[in-house]
């Protein structure tokens, strides 16, 4: 039997079919490779975006900025209908952040109890797919909550992809969740950008980067706050150290001044006492009378220098009294005009309705003198000096270095249109011996004396100045609760005339022999009987021996027994004799407690014979009234 010939058509067909299968396989392979390449490119793109997110996180970035950048990556790199960061709220969910140009719900989004419980239970990322919107599961309830703010409406047949990644902290005290929602996504499809469970590591990594960025931002903010606090503390410490150094300088100068003044005032008391006694003994018209007066005047000037030294160290004996600040300023300015010079115009602006102040009148005059001289020296080519009195105000209280009620102070300001001062100079103007004047033209004590005197009188000193715009010094003096004690016009009280001693006996207790002798000489010359003792022990022995005295005039600081202890012992014995003090150094009075006890009068050294006799007469009169 002869074999059938080959069918060329069938063979060709089979070959074509095989070729088509190969081509089909090649196309499918190419398509798979293309999709794989696209997926790989998309993954690489997302990884680059994540790396860029990490690198762009800088110091000082806000939490909101960090969250928005993270959401922008999700929005651009995945096919989502909505994504955002939410946190729990009493009424449901609160949306904290969404991608740029997306609306943020103005109110909380209500969620069911199951959904809230589910969110609280999340500790690991969760991904849910193929969820019907009407499913009773908690993720579906959350999807239903977020559905109204999705960019596209969900259909009845749509499925939902939902991812929830916990964030440790999205604010200082709150945790949150990074949520992504996709509607109408075919889970089984390979559509580009479709979110699937395979992307959870990426979402978790993004959440970790967000947490780290927020932690770094919060740490940076905390460090910045701490740095600011530290800088403020260092600035405060620097100011405190400067003030402490100033206080130490003032303390050292004050102790030096006090030690010098204590002995110098004793010497001046002797000089003034004997010079006054000689002046009183000289006949009228004596050629020696003028010489003695010059000695007295020189001693008084020396006493003024001592007073400035004590004011510098805040150890001056204060004679505080109520007076009219405006009237006293007017009277003192009239006397100071000759110091100013004709090329300087003096303008007065005085408030005569001010409450009276309580201060040492002589000390106030010294302060005003120093401020006027300082203003004059700041205007070597002439200018305008303005002297003003007014009530203190809130601005003064703000500018001062301590807290106080401005209603309790009155202000005196002296301003000039002179050269002004730079900030460095302003920090040193109250230092003793600091001056910007040429050598030999300034001691550097004027403003230091002002500061010390006002501070000792419980006041405040303020200064304003700019280079080329002049300066203004303001002193705040405490308001007096009394008014009208010195006189209706604020003038100092007239001295009380002393009367002859008669049969009065004065007991002088003083350890300095020269002072004891000159005081005794002055009192005996006025007709008093005088007995003397060198310290409190000797004085008590005289009293216990039956000595009868009308007044005890004692120094404060003495060996063996001081004046205050002597006064206490006299009072304990019930003799009824009045004890008064004399001292040239307020440190003694403060240490002994004299200034804290208003019942003890004291006579400040140095003093002239007239001042001594007037004081004794006043104290004897008070003793009789008592």
Q: What was the pLDDT predicted at 131?
A: 45
Burial (CB count within 10 angstroms: exposed 0-12, middle 13-18, buried 19+), residue 103: exposed
Q: What was the pLDDT predicted at 142?
A: 58
401-432 pLDDT, tens digit each:
777 888 899 999 999 988 888 888 877 777 76
Range name among 9-13, 20-24, 312-316, 452-456 with the lowest pLDDT average: 312-316
Task: For each of the domains in the chain, give its residue range(s) and CATH number, in order of start.
Answer: 63-195 (3.30.450.40), 318-478 (3.30.565.10), 505-625 (3.40.50.2300)
Cβ distance 598 to 585 under 8 Å? no
SS3 431: coil
User: What's the alpha-carbon Rg for the chain, to the nearest Å?
Assistant: 47
Q: Which residues contact 7 (CB under 8 A, 6 or more apart)?
A: none
pLDDT at 159 over 70: no
Residue 432 token pair: 């003793």
d(CA 247, CA 563): 30
Q: What was the pLDDT predicted at 95?
A: 77
d(CA 22, CA 16): 10
Report the 10 Å Cβ neighbour count for 492.
13
Q: Specify the residue for token string 């009493």.
A: 90
Q: What was the pLDDT predicted at 193?
A: 60
Q: Which residues contact 250 (CB under 8 A, 6 or more apart)?
A: 312, 313, 314, 432, 448, 452
230-261 pLDDT, tens digit each:
888 888 888 778 777 766 766 676 677 667 77
**Which strands, in side-by-side order, build the sheet including 160-167?**
92-97, 82-89, 176-183, 160-167, 126-131
Among 88, 71, 73, 72, CA closest to 171: 88
pLDDT at 335 over 90: no
Cβ distance 552 to 580 under 8 Å? yes
pLDDT at 218 over 50: yes
d(CA 304, CA 310): 10
Range name among 157-161, 284-288, 326-330, 612-616 with the lowest pLDDT average: 157-161
Residue 362 token pair: 């002589």
Q: What percent of the chain has pLDDT over 70?
A: 70
d(CA 413, CA 402): 19
H or E element in which residue 288 lies: helix 288-312
CA dist 335 to 180, 293, 454, Å? 88, 22, 21
pLDDT at 127 over 70: no
pLDDT at 576 over 70: yes
339-388 pLDDT, tens digit each:
787 888 888 999 988 889 988 887 888 888 888 888 888 888 889 999 99
H or E element in which residue 404 lies: none
Strand partners, 509: 533, 554
Q: What was the pLDDT predicted at 157?
A: 43
Cβ distance 567 to 582 under 8 Å? no
pLDDT at 17 over 50: yes
Bond prior to 606 in cis (omega within 30° of 0)? yes
CA dist 26 to 39, 40, 191, 582, Å? 19, 20, 21, 123
Q: What percent of the chain has pLDDT over 90?
A: 10
Backbone φ and ψ for 12, nearest 5 degrees, come out as -65, -40
CA dist 530 to 42, 215, 409, 491, 551, Å? 116, 88, 45, 35, 10
Please provide the average confidence, as pLDDT, over all residues in the chain: 75
* Separation of CA 462 from chain center: 15
């Amino acid at each position: 039997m002869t074999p059938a010939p080959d069918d060329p058509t069938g063979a060709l067909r089979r070959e074509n079919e095989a070729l088509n299968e190969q081509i089909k396989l090649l196309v499918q392979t190419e398509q798979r490779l293309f999709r794989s390449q696209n997926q790989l490119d998309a993954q690489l793109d997302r990884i680059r975006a994540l790396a860029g997110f990490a690198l762009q996180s800088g110091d000082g970035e806000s939490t909101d900025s960090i969250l928005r950048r993270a959401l922008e990556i999700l929005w651009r790199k995945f096919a989502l209908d909505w994504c955002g960061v939410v946190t729990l709220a009493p009424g449901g969910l609160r949306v904290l952040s969404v991608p740029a140009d997306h609306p943020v719900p103005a109110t909380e989004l209500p969620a069911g109890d199951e959904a809230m419980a589910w969110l609280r239970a999340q500790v690991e990322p969760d991904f849910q797919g193929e969820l019907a919107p009407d499913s009773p599961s908690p993720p579906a309830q959350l999807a239903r909550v977020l559905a109204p703010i999705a960019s596209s409406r969900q259909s009845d047949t749509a499925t939902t992809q939902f991812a929830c990644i916990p964030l440790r902290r999205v604010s200082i005290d709150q945790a949150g969740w990074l949520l992504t929602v996709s509607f109408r996504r075919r889970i089984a499809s390979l559509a580009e950008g479709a979110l699937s469970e395979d992307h959870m590591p990426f979402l978790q990594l993004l959440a970790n980067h967000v947490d780290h960025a927020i932690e770094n931002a919060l740490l940076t903010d905390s460090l910045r706050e701490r740095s600011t606090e530290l800088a403020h503390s260092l600035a405060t410490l620097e100011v405190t150290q400067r003030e402490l150094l100033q206080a130490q300088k003032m303390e050292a100068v004050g102790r030096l001044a006090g030690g010098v003044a204590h002995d110098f005032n004793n010497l001046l008391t002797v000089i003034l006492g004997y010079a006054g006694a000689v002046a009183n003994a000289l006949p009228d018209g004596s050629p020696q009378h003028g010489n003695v007066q010059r000695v007295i005047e020189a001693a008084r000037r020396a006493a003024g220098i001592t007073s400035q030294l004590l004011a510098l160290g805040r150890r001056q004996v204060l004679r505080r009294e109520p007076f009219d600040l405006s009237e006293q300023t007017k009277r003192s300015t009239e006397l100071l005009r000759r110091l100013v010079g004709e090329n300087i115009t003096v303008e007065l602006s005085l408030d005569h309705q001010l409450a009276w102040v309580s201060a040492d009148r002589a000390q106030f005059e010294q302060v005003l003198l120093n401020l006027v001289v300082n203003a004059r020296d700041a205007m070597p080519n002439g200018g305008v000096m303005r002297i003003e009195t007014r009530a203190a105000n809130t601005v003064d209280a703000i500018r001062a270095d301590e807290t106080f009620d401005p209603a309790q102070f009155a202000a005196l300001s002296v301003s000039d249109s002179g050269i002004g001062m730079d900030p460095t100079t302003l920090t040193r103007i109250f230092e003793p011996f600091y001056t910007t004047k040429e050598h030999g033209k300034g001691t550097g004590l004027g403003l230091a004396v002002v500061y010390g005197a006002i501070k000792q009188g419980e006041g405040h000193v303020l200064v304003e100045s700019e280079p080329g715009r002049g300066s203004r010094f303001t002193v705040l003096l405490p308001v007096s609760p009394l008014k009208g004690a010195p006189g209706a016009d604020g003038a100092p009280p007239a001295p009380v005339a002393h009367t002859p001693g008669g049969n009065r006996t004065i007991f002088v207790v003083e350890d300095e022999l020269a002072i004891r002798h000159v005081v005794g000489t002055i009192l005996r010359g006025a007709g008093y009987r005088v007995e003397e003792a060198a310290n409190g022990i000797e004085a008590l022995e005289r009293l216990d021996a039956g000595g009868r005295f009308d007044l005890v005039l004692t120094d404060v600081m003495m060996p063996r027994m001081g004046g205050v202890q002597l006064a206490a012992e006299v009072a304990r014995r019930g003799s009824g004799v009045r004890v008064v003090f004399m001292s040239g150094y307020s440190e003694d009075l403060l240490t002994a407690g004299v200034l804290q006890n208003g019942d003890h009068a004291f006579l400040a050294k140095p003093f002239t014979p007239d001042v001594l006799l007037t004081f004794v007469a006043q104290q004897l009169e008070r003793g009789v009234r008592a």
